[in-house]
Amino acid sequence: MLFMAVFGSALLYNCEPEADSLGEQLFIDGAAQGNETSYPLIAYNINNNDTIRSDASRLLSIVSETNSTAAAVLGAFDEGQFGMQKASFLAQLRMSTDNFEFGKTPKIDSVVLVMKPAYVPDSIVTRPVKDENLLVGTETVPVSTVVKEYPVDYQYKYGKMKLGPGGTNTLLHINVDEVTTFLDGNNDAFKRSNVTVNTGTALGSTVFNGTVTAKTITKKSDNSTLFTSTDPAIRIRLDKDFFQTKILDKNGKPELMDAANFTRHFKGIRLSVTDTDGYLLQFNPDSMEVVMYYTNEKNDNGTITRPQFTFKLNIAGNTRFGQYQYNRGTSAWGNALTQINPTDGDKKLYIQGMGGPSIAVKIPDQTITDLKKLYNDNKAAIVSAKIRMYADPSWENNYLRKDRKFNILPLDNINPTTKVITYTGFTQDQIAGLDWLKDNKKPEYYDFVITKTVKDIVEGTLANNTLIVNAGKFTPTDTGKFLGYKYTLRAFAMERGVYVGTDKNNSNSIQLKIIYGTKK
């Protein structure tokens, strides 16, 4: 899958109108007269039917030949512009060692799911030492427990929460359930976010308050360490009886022989929230694991003991996907999606990741005709061409955690039945390695640079394709290039926004800004 495109990475920076580097040589020593003009664009909303491909190949946040990083989203968020969005995560588990021998009469002590979202290491809170009694094997011993808390990094949260690096007032009620449907990664039905699966046993739950914890447990008698967690994490206690029956009681049997047998025996887990409002939490699923603490019987010269061991079930490298649900209700987008106007354009444009809407932008044929006439009759050279898109004032930026990220691609086709969009490839500007996205903070607008694209259309070598703007940047590689035009962060991009569309009565209407040069 790892094919490296030879395109420069997108640079995002504040800009004022200026000649792009593609044509700036025309102005050297005053050789040309620069002219700037704006043309209206036809921009309208694309309803993606609240579904997107969200399998493992689309949940990559950065790709490396040795250690790629994945991302997934969990949580729920409800607001007036886009309605309610809920994100769940489903994944197969795999034994860390196939056909593992658990020993004689193995018995589960406890099972914990460990989840490690990004946290702020400098914002540490140490709880008071807690003294209690703990069952260790067959012996109850007095122990002391030290717990350190760290807030989850706010840049990986989106929704109703405190701004800044601190915690949140909103709780997430997280559930873990057994999946009883085989998650066939080779089946297209298990690659999209609106897939339905069956669940069985409720394995565990927790209330997440926005912090992760690291814990150390020591014996009071000799201060020896019984347990220490290496990384702060969310820890969810799971049903030990389920794992006793599902795994340890199958010790030495075919169900545990290899990954193929195991993933059909224990088909996976689903993480979800009971909430319908709160926030979305982004995390790396490959850092998750299920840890089983168990004992087995040991006969040492007639002395029977039960030493304790651990065994891990891994998620890394397995079939997984994001599962997303929406309730648009009476939201602004819920109303707008019934009134999309591809002919004249929409006055407000809506964009959202994770299967939400996209934006289509079309340069009118008459504009291309006018530019061709300018090119042929006046020998005008296009120095700069960009789509300028303003944020709509109705969209209060209360939830933004970082700069908005977009991708823009030329449309190939929209399947009339499934509504799945295909693209022709990168834009000509991206292929040439040119900077293609620039932003301005106040007023908030974004320039999609399409200088070479427009030049090639005007000069007759390129079709005037509709351009599709999506949420989420292109998937980067560790070398700073793009993985490919089909690979973006859209499948787990939590951001959304409202923008000014085609509106002749609005000076901030989406527009094509052209700078062209003519000889003096």
- Determine the Cα–Cα distance for residues 513 and 520; give it in Å rounded to an integer: 22
Tell me which residue of 76, 143, 155 sits closest to 324, measured CA to CA.
76
Q: How many residues does the chain have?
A: 520
Whether residue 227 has pLDDT greater than 80? no
Asked if 251 and 244 touch (Cβ cutoff 8 Å), the reply is no
Q: What is the DSSP letter of 253?
A: S
Tell me the pLDDT tens digit for each residue of 157-196: 888 876 544 445 678 999 999 999 999 988 988 899 999 9
Name the pLDDT band for 465 (thresholds 50, 70, 90). Answer: very high
Q: Which of 212-221, 361-370, 491-500, 502-511 has the lowest mean pLDDT?
A: 212-221
- Determine the Cα–Cα distance for residues 421 and 340; give it in Å rounded to an integer: 17
Whether residue 512 has pLDDT greater than 90? yes
Whether residue 470 has pLDDT greater than 70? yes
For the residues of 105-135, what is the DSSP string, one character each? EEEEEEEEEEE---B-TT--EEPPPEEEEEE
**432 Cβ partners below 8 Å, 6+ apart?**
22, 452
CA distances (Å), 314 to each of 144, 191, 260, 273, 489, in order? 30, 20, 14, 22, 24
- Determine the Cα–Cα distance for residues 26 and 380; give it in Å rounded to an integer: 11
- Determine the Cα–Cα distance for residues 365 and 353; give it in Å rounded to an integer: 30
Tell me the pLDDT tens digit for each residue of 379-435: 888 999 999 999 998 876 556 555 578 999 999 999 988 888 999 999 999 999 999
Amino acid making up residue 280: L
The structure tokens listed for 412 are 């190939």
255 CA to centre of own chain: 34
Name the pLDDT band for 127 (thresholds 50, 70, 90). Answer: low
For the residues of 23-58, what is the DSSP string, one character each? TGGGGGGG-EEEEEEEEE-EEEEE--TT--B-BGGG
Of residues 1 and 495, more confidently modeled: 495
Most confident of 11-15, 230-234, 262-266: 262-266
**144 Cβ partners below 8 Å, 6+ apart?**
129, 130, 131, 217, 218, 220
- Determine the Cα–Cα distance for residues 230 and 45; give it in Å rounded to an integer: 47
The structure tokens listed for 40 are 């209206």
Of residues 136 and 46, more confidently modeled: 46
Q: What is residue 480's three-state secondary structure?
A: coil
Mean residue pLDDT across the chain: 87
Asked if 70 and 286 touch (Cβ cutoff 8 Å), the reply is yes
Name the pLDDT band for 316 (thresholds 50, 70, 90). Answer: confident
Q: Which of 214-218, 429-433, 513-517 has the lowest mean pLDDT?
A: 214-218
Asked if 94 and 317 touch (Cβ cutoff 8 Å), the reply is yes
Name the pLDDT band for 11 (thresholds 50, 70, 90). Answer: very low
Q: What is residue 240's three-state secondary structure?
A: helix
Question: What is the model's pLDDT at position 403?
Answer: 58
Of residues 121 and 239, more confidently modeled: 239
**Does pTM surpass 0.85?**
yes
Question: What is the model's pLDDT at position 29?
Answer: 47
Tell me the pLDDT tens digit for each residue of 25-49: 444 444 455 789 999 999 999 999 9
Whether residue 137 has pLDDT greater than 80? no
Question: What is the model's pLDDT at position 226?
Answer: 75
